[in-house]
């Protein structure tokens, strides 16, 4: 029987959660929850469903991963990217580091999932399909017309199409039609199946990733060779092109916590205070008064203050991008 390997992709920065999330302390390592960090929660959630753990990170955050893994005393392998080249390359490295028949359960490191039994059922279903030679994606039941997620159009376990982040009207139409799921960014497949499909549909990514992997040393990837790999997501490279795709419709609660709106919803659920107009402060114990404002989030850190209306929270990434262009220390 093939082994099941949990592959955690931990290279994200979480720019929409600035100023809480920074390059040197991305959102997946922040202890925002009573259970600890999202990274640690991801490890625990999958420990008893898989046989081994592989973390694909980068030179900026691998030590943060090591600290969590060591504190949890979890055996693991790490692949460290000098220059991250998106998820197609990261997953290719994981497959190249595995036995061909290994089943790879690929998950982000920064998602919030509630419902252990429903999660285990979904993973078991995904592993079964992966053993049959399919590339499996996991779809989340859409509960609102979310414009910050990609969507999967489906029928039974067949994927009819992948849709990019829609505008509000399109998202509402997806919800009304009822055959669209949120794209969770979680996948399951045999290592050799993924590499075969990557070689078929994105040969330039495959060849450059293989060359880089062959030159790696103790999990560290060469920077110059990494720069030659096209930066493309696994969705574009393989999932939207392959004929071997299947989807598992899940029943657990899920959030990518990719914005202050989703963090706000979580914090409200666990009892974080808001005023009578839905305003919330995060990161400060100082008395904070909101006058003439509604559904506004105040985020306070030692060196920055952010005020954002909840429904505009996706736009925080623009502030991060401006600071990045100016090489500001506020994102470090």
Integer CA distances (angstroms), 316 to 13, 57, 310, in order: 13, 24, 11
Q: Give the CATH number of the domain where residue 33 resides.
A: 3.90.550.10
Calculate mean pLDDT across residues 111-128.
Answer: 96
More confident residue, 2 or 207: 207
User: Are 49 and 182 within one domain?
Assistant: yes
User: Are 309 and 270 within one domain?
Assistant: yes
Helix (H, G, I), strand (E, B) or coil at 262: helix
User: Are 282 and 196 within one domain?
Assistant: no
Calculate mean pLDDT across residues 281-301.
Answer: 95
pLDDT at 257: 86
Backbone angle region of 73, left / alpha / beta, with phi > 0 → left and psi within -120 to 50 → alpha: left
**Given 233, 255, 277, which residue is the final one in a domain?**
255
User: Are 223 and 267 within one domain?
Assistant: no
Integer CA distances (angstroms), 83 to 79, 104, 131, 222, in order: 12, 23, 32, 9
pLDDT at 42: 97
User: Are 133 and 164 within one domain?
Assistant: yes
Distance of CA 133 to the CA centre of its chain: 24
**Given 255, 270, 301, which residue is the final one in a domain?**
255
Smallest CA-to-CA distance from 80 within 98, 69, 68, 65 is with 65
pLDDT tens-digit readout, 175-188? 999 999 999 999 99
User: Are 251 and 272 within one domain?
Assistant: no
Q: Give the chain's largest Cα–Cα span.
A: 62
Element (H, E) at 40: helix 38-47
pLDDT bucket at 84, cuts 50 / 70 / 90? confident
Calculate mean pLDDT across residues 151-167.
Answer: 95
Contact 279, 296 (CB under 8 A): yes
Q: Reply yes or no on whether the pLDDT at 35 is more than 90.
A: no
Task: Give phi and psi for 181, each to the nearest 5.
Answer: -120, 150
User: Are 273 and 184 within one domain?
Assistant: no
User: Are 51 and 184 within one domain?
Assistant: yes
| Structural domain count, the chain | 2
pLDDT at 31: 87
Smallest CA-to-CA distance from 268 within 302, 232, 295 is with 295
Q: Reply yes or no on whether the pLDDT at 265 is more than 80.
A: yes
**Given 255, 279, 305, which residue is the final one in a domain?**
255
More confident residue, 33 or 265: 265
User: Are 130 and 69 within one domain?
Assistant: yes
31-35, 127-131, 235-239: segment of lowest average pLDDT: 31-35
Identify any residues that bridge with 137 across adjacent strands, giving them in sequence order. 187, 247
Helix (H, G, I), strand (E, B) or coil at 269: helix
Residue 240, number of CB atoms within 10 A of its CB: 16
CA distance linking residue 7 with residue 299, whole number of Å: 32
Strand pairing class (253-255; 103-108):
unpaired
Radius of gyration of the chain measured on its C-alpha atoms: 20
Contact 188, 104 (CB under 8 A): yes
User: Are 156 and 268 within one domain?
Assistant: no
Structural domain for 311, as ranges:
260-331
CA distance linking residue 11 with residue 89, whole number of Å: 12
Whole-number average pLDDT of the chain: 95
Q: Reply yes or no on whether the pLDDT at 256 is more than 90.
A: no
Calculate mean pLDDT across residues 290-303.
Answer: 96
User: Are 197 and 323 within one domain?
Assistant: no
Highest mean pLDDT among 7-16, 20-29, 116-125: 116-125
CA distance linking residue 56 with residue 249, whole number of Å: 26
pLDDT tens-digit readout, 198-212? 999 999 999 999 999
**Residue 233 structure tokens:** 């997501």
pLDDT at 60: 87
Contact 65, 78 (CB under 8 A): yes
User: Are 24 and 151 within one domain?
Assistant: yes
Smallest CA-to-CA distance from 233 within 91, 81, 41, 71 is with 91
């Amino acid at each position: 029987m093939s082994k099941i390997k949990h592959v955690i992709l931990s290279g994200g920065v979480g720019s929409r959660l600035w100023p809480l999330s920074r390059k040197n302390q991305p959102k997946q390592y922040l202890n925002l929850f009573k259970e600890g960090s999202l990274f640690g929660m991801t490890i625990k959630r999958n420990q008893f469903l898989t046989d081994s753990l592989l973390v694909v990170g980068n030179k900026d955050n691998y030590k943060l991963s090591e600290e969590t893994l060591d504190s949890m005393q979890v055996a693991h392998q790490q692949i460290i990217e000098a220059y991250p080249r998106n998820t197609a390359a990261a997953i290719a490295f994981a497959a190249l580091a595995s036995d061909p028949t290994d089943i790879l359960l690929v998950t982000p490191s920064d998602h919030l999932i509630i419902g252990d039994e429903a999660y285990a059922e979904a993973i078991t279903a995904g592993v079964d399909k992966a053993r049959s030679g399919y590339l499996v994606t996991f779809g989340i039941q859409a509960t609102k017309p979310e414009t910050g997620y990609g969507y999967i159009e489906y029928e039974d376990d067949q994927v009819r199409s992948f849709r990019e982040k829609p505008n509000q009207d399109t998202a509402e139409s997806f919800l009304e039609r009822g055959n669209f799921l949120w794209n969770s960014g979680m996948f399951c497949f045999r290592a050799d199946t993924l590499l075969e499909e990557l070689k078929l549909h994105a040969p330039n990514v495959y060849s450059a990733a293989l060359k880089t992997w062959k030159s790696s040393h103790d999990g560290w990837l060469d920077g110059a060779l990494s720069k030659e790999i096209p930066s493309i997501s696994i969705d574009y490279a393989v999932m939207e092109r392959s004929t071997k795709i299947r989807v598992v419709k899940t029943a657990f609660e899920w959030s990518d916590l990719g914005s202050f709106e989703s963090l706000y919803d979580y914090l409200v659920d666990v009892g974080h205070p808001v005023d009578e107009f839905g305003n919330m402060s995060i990161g400060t114990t100082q008395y904070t008064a909101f006058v003439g404002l509604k559904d506004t989030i105040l985020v306070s850190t030692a060196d920055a203050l952010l005020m954002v209306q909840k429904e505009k929270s996706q736009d925080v990434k623009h502030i991060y991008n401006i600071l990045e262009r100016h090489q500001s220390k506020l994102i470090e």
